[in-house]
Amino acid sequence: MELQEILSRCDHTLLRVDATAAEIRALCDQGVRYGCASVCIPPCHVAGAKKYVGDRLKICTVIGFPNGYNSSAVKAFEAAEAIRAGADEVDMVINLAMVKDGCWADVAEDIHAVREASRGKILKVIIECCLLTEEEKVKLCRIVSDSGADYIKTSTGFSTGGATREDVALLRANCDDHVLVKAAGGISSIQDAEDFINLGADRLGTSRIVKLAMKMENEEA
Element (H, E) at 49: helix 46-53
- CA–CA distance from 86 to each of 50, 58, 82, 120, 204 (Å)? 6, 9, 6, 13, 21
Active-site annotation holder among 11, 153, 167, 192: 153
> Which is it for the CA torsion 178, 184, 188, 192, positive or negative?
negative
Residue 153 bears catalytic tag: yes
Burial of 159 (0-12, 13-18, 19+ CB in 10 A): middle
Strand pairing partners for 204? 10, 183
Residue 91 bears catalytic tag: yes
Active-site annotation holder among 91, 150, 167, 192: 91
Active-site annotation holder among 88, 167, 182, 192: 182
Residue 182 bears catalytic tag: yes
Any idea which residues carry the catalytic annotation?
Answer: 91, 153, 182
